[in-house]
Structures are given as structure tokens and as C-alpha cells.
């Protein structure tokens, strides 16, 4: 059977990939806001942001800054919100111990200058699916919060967030009546995935967070949850004990 016909019969979600010319932009901190004890939103501004485009909640930019010791550090962050007209870009930093980017966020002040480069590409997941399953830890919360804001009102969104404690909950704006659970242990997360409501029709599971956790999430989604590999993306956003880590798990 021809490949295109097979793909129609299997109703693979139409994930569209768009490449962008990578532009490095010098930006200035315009606002710093604490969102609960573990998450900090920093809004940047600058004329270079006039042409900034982020097509997907799955996008990332390289956040490039200098430490107090003069080292240049680059880390990946999700464009949480951008307004090319107002020339602003917001990133949200999960605060954790011993990380230069997290440390930078803790000391961020209005007027500081850093560089953001990218996004290099966008993986655009369709909006018109029967269900959207979103799973992540604090590092993926900015992407998931953005996705929830972007989903149209009729969407069925199921969100499972692995957070350090109850205080990590933040308000999630959405037109959808999302089924959101905040889970404070891995055991609770996996129990909640095991007990997912039936996922009928065509949907997509998107998950991101700590590598070890995400490998278990991938195995459970593909195994017990019966979600086909083409209908999921599971991304490693960081790895416990490893600095500046990069790896792809499943897409």
C-alpha cells in the first residue's frame, strides 16, 4: 500500500515541522515575577524581539548569559509567551539547586542584558485532536501552561504534573475544561497514568521532564496505556546529576 494511504488509514497526527533561521537577540530584563516558590517568570524586551516567532509550545530558545565568574552559559528554555508587537518574550525558570541558569534567574533584575537564540525549529502539533495528554515536571510546566492557553475551547485536555510539593501549583489559564492533576510523587504520577480515563479517537501524548522519569512515562504510555509511538513525544528536558544535558527519548 502506498505510504500516504497507510498514513491516512492510521490517522497519524499531522505533526508539522518548520525550520527557522537562527537569530541571536540581545534582550533586556523588563520584569521578574515569582510564580509560586519554585517557578520564576522573567520578561525580556528589546527591539530585536520585533521579529521573534515561536510557532509551538514545544519550541525552545537558547538562553545565553554570563556567570559572575565570566563564563558563558547556554541552556534551553521554552518561549512561554511572546508579543512581537510589544517586543516582549517571557521565559519561566524552574528554580532548583546548583544550576547556573536557575541561579541566574534567582538574581535576575530589571535592566540586565542577556542573549536568546532561536527557536531553530518548531514541531507543531495539531489542535483538532480528540484528546491532548500533557505530562511533565516543573521544567515542562511553562510549555504545558502555554499549550493549555492555545487549545481551542472544545478540546479535551488531560494534564498530569509531577511537582515537588502542593505549593508548586499555579493558576493555569485555558478555554478548555482541562482535567488537571498535581502529583507530588512519582508513584502518584504513575498511579494516575494507570487510571487515565479512556482515550478514544485520535490524540497525542506530549511529555517532558527529568530523563529517568520520562523513560518510565514513555514505557507506560506505549505499554499499559496503549498509545502508539507516532502519537506521542516524550522529551528529556534535564537529567538528575548531569549539567547541560541533551537527549531525545521518543517522538
Ligand X SMILES: Cc1cc2nc3c(=O)[nH]c(=O)nc-3n(C[C@H](O)[C@H](O)[C@H](O)COP(=O)(O)OP(=O)(O)OC[C@H]3O[C@@H](n4cnc5c(N)ncnc54)[C@H](O)[C@@H]3O)c2cc1C
- Which stretches of the chain bind ligand X, using CB under 6 A? 60, 75-78, 92-94, 96, 98-102, 138-139, 142, 237-244
Tell me how far, at minimum, the Cβ of 111 lies from ligand X, in Å: 22
The residue among 75 and 160 lying less far from ligand X, judged by its C-beta, is: 75
Q: Which of 186, 196, 179 is nearest to 162 (CA)?
A: 186
Let me know: does 142 contact 91? Beta carbons within 8 Å. yes
Tell me how far, at minimum, the Cβ of 163 lies from ligand X, in Å: 11
Tell me how far, at minimum, the Cβ of 170 lies from ligand X, in Å: 13
How far apart CA 20 and CA 127 sit, in angstroms, is 21
Tell me how far, at minimum, the Cβ of 171 lies from ligand X, in Å: 17
Q: Residue 47 phi/psi, 5° resolution?
A: -60, -30
The residue among 151 and 235 lying less far from ligand X, judged by its C-beta, is: 235
The residue among 23 and 81 lying less far from ligand X, judged by its C-beta, is: 81
Let me know: does 31 contact 43? Beta carbons within 8 Å. yes
Q: Which of 100, 22, 93, 82 is nearest to 46 (CA)?
A: 82
The residue among 46 and 119 lying less far from ligand X, judged by its C-beta, is: 119
The residue among 2 and 19 lying less far from ligand X, judged by its C-beta, is: 19
Residue nearest to ligand X (CB): 99
Rounded to 5°, angle at Cα 201 from 196 and 207: 50
Tell me how far, at minimum, the Cβ of 195 lies from ligand X, in Å: 26
Tell me how far, at minimum, the Cβ of 191 lies from ligand X, in Å: 22
The residue among 2 and 98 lying less far from ligand X, judged by its C-beta, is: 98
CA 242, 248, 250, 251 torsion-angle sign: positive
Amino acid at each position: 500500500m502506498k505510504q500516504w494511504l497507510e498514513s491516512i488509514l492510521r490517522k497519524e497526527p499531522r505533526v508539522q515541522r518548520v525550520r527557522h533561521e537562527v537569530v541571536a537577540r540581545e534582550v533586556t530584563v523588563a520584569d521578574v515575577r515569582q510564580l509560586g516558590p519554585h517557578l520564576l517568570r522573567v520578561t525580556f524586551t528589546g527591539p530585536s524581539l520585533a521579529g521573534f516567532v515561536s510557532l509551538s509550545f514545544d519550541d525552545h530558545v537558547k538562553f545565553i548569559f554570563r556567570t559572575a565568574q565570566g563564563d558563558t552559559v547556554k541552556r534551553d528554555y521554552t518561549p512561554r509567551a511572546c508579543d512581537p508587537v510589544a517586543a516582549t518574550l517571557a521565559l519561566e525558570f524552574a528554580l532548583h539547586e546548583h544550576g547556573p541558569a536557575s541561579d541566574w534567574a534567582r538574581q535576575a533584575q530589571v535592566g540586565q542584558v542577556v542573549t536568546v537564540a532561536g527557536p531553530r525549529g518548531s514541531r507543531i502539533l495539531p489542535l483538532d485532536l480528540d484528546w491532548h495528554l500533557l505530562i511533565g515536571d516543573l521544567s515542562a510546566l511553562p510549555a504545558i501552561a502555554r499549550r493549555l492557553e492555545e487549545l481551542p475551547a472544545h478540546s479535551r485536555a488531560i494534564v498530569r504534573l509531577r511537582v515537588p510539593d502542593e505549593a508548586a501549583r499555579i493558576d493555569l489559564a485555558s478555554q478548555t475544561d482541562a482535567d488537571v492533576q498535581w502529583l507530588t510523587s512519582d508513584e502518584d504520577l504513575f498511579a494516575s497514568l494507570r487510571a487515565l480515563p479512556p482515550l478514544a479517537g485520535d490524540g497525542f501524548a506530549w511529555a517532558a521532564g527529568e530523563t529517568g522519569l520520562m523513560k518510565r512515562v514513555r514505557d507506560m504510555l506505549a505499554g499499559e496505556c496503549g498509545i502508539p509511538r507516532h502519537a506521542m513525544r516524550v522529551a528529556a528536558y534535564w537529567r538528575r546529576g548531569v549539567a547541560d544535558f541533551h537527549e531525545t527519548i521518543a517522538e
